[in-house]
Structure 1
């Protein structure tokens, strides 16, 4: 949690500096601040803290499969919180993508055994994904009020940082920061590319296509990881992983409305 807090503190500082350079206004209404605070706590505090807790109990392959739950949570919460209709193509695309993710990680899932902390890991994971879904829907609600992405990320991250570091300080756990340079390189990478740039792009997606469609990126992450692993770690592709990647891409096309069952039938025929 300390690393999460430091990561987003650096990101908040960089976004704030950029806002000052661009002469962007930091002013928001009290109601907007309340929404920002809730979005920040769920998206930048609970989501990541619970996710890292889950990774100490269950393998990353299972987490990748479970992460698809974010999309379903988003669809339901978006309907009840924002009163926006459920888009069937998103549910259908997410289901096809989920099957693809399962095929990609078949070897890892087959080799997985029940551990003493499995139940705790599953609860932490579901808590993380549910928190992410709440944060996503609240972010869409905020962005619908013509708040800029920069304002959104600055304030939400700031509130998330305050709560995260507050919990760390109140926990009375000894604060031990690694002395290896690689830790700080990784932290800077996550702060700049994984937070400032990635969340800037992600929130723009939320603003343009909605939090339900934007959440499909969680099924794209493993494909990027496989490509990187192929280049640097000599990952060996299998038939199931190739079919899995294809299904994830088809699911993405369905979720974005670019591929319907009728179009698919025409292409197959």
Structure 2
């Protein structure tokens, strides 16, 4: 698949997964629900590797890095994100998610010695402005208190973990490790970590019995994890973690379109302005800008 197709696939799937996630809440602990999601995803990827006779053998140092991806991107990121949602509204999470792009830019420069691309920073800033326009009505409901401050702190740590996982993934993939095998091992390591955490948490481990929980789990595992993360990792491999992360600014728009039908989201003139600004930012981030803006801020 080409990059626009992969990008669109990520946005469409992740823009719809919020519905499935609502059916996961309240049936068991967040860590156990996420562990089951990665268990199913890892099984699907493992079966695919066996059928296609894809090699499983990888060097030890790659396994260490994949375990780190499992810890930061697939375990800590999602667990903390679920925790943050208990304290702050989704509009604030969507706004804060834009920080992933900026953190990716800094980490790529510091860790991978990659140049800071001016178009990505400018595009992300446009995208951030567009997200503000989209969610202005929701922000009026927010009042600063201790719970909100806690939620914002947890969300920031979550997005920082996601960025660390993004950059490690880019390093693994650009060294030649195949996307499918990397996701298989990273999700397997995440699943093990999350199952152990679930067992160590205080309280009784509850096995969900609801049909809606398992139907949503199937969607999240197959589409949200296997397909969407497969497409995202391919993007990350081909474009870099800074550009690929622009997905986090586009998929909230898909969620709002779905919300229009399921939750009665009311579109305003400012909402359409926000969509236009986000799309403009996307075009800039992907290099659809004058040549003079494509020179990096910093080079090797």
> TM-score normalised by the shorter chain: which range applies?
over 0.9
Q: How far apart in 1 are the matches of 2:265 and 2:93?
A: 19
Q: How far apart in 1 are the matches of 2:193 and 2:264?
A: 41
Q: How far apart in 1 are the matches of 2:141 and 2:292?
A: 38
Q: How far apart in 1 are the matches of 2:44 and 2:145?
A: 41
Query: Hey, what does 1:155 align to over in structure 2?
Result: 185
Query: Hey, what does 2:262 align to over in structure 1?
Result: 232
Q: How far does residue 20 in structure 1 lie from its aligned partner after superposition?
A: 0.3
Q: How far does residue 179 in structure 1 lie from its aligned partner after superposition?
A: 2.4
Query: Hey, what does 1:200 align to over in structure 2?
Result: 230
Q: How far apart in 2 are the matches of 1:178 and 1:24?
A: 34
Count of matched residue pairs:
263
- Structure 1 runs of 4+ aligned residues shifted over 6 Å read none
Q: Does the 8 Å CA contact 1:67/1:218 hold for their aligned counterparts?
A: yes
Q: How far apart in 2 are the matches of 1:19 and 1:104?
A: 41
Q: How far apart in 2 are the matches of 1:121 and 1:226?
A: 22
Is 1:178 matched up with 2:200?
Answer: no
Find the partner of 2:198 among 138, 163, 168.
168
Query: Hey, what does 1:5 align to over in structure 2?
Result: 35
Change (3 A) 1:243 1:260: farther
Change (3 A) 1:235 1:119: closer
Q: How far does residue 261 in structure 1 lie from its aligned partner after superposition?
A: 8.9
Is 1:132 matched up with 2:162?
Answer: yes
TM-score, normalization: structure 1?
Answer: 0.95
Is 1:107 matched up with 2:156?
Answer: no
Find the partner of 2:59 among 29, 34, 38.
29
Q: How far apart in 1 are the matches of 2:99 and 2:230?
A: 23
Change (3 A) 1:212 1:180: same
**After the TM superposition, which residues 12-161 of structure 1 pair with which residues of structure 2 at under 5 Å, given as runs?**
12-161=42-191
Query: Hey, what does 2:288 align to over in structure 1?
Result: 258
Query: Hey, what does 1:267 align to over in structure 2?
Result: none
Structure 1 unaligned segments of length 5 or more: list them: 264-269
Change (3 A) 1:156 1:92: same
Q: How far apart in 2 are the matches of 1:2 and 1:258?
A: 43
Q: Does the 8 Å CA contact 1:53/1:124 hold for their aligned counterparts?
A: yes
Q: How far apart in 2 are the matches of 1:259 and 1:228?
A: 31
Q: How far does residue 262 in structure 1 lie from its aligned partner after superposition?
A: 7.9
3-state DSSP of counterpart to 2:146: coil
3-state DSSP of counterpart to 1:31: helix
3-state DSSP of counterpart to 2:216: helix
Query: Hey, what does 2:248 align to over in structure 1?
Result: 218
Q: How far does residue 115 in structure 1 lie from its aligned partner after superposition?
A: 3.6
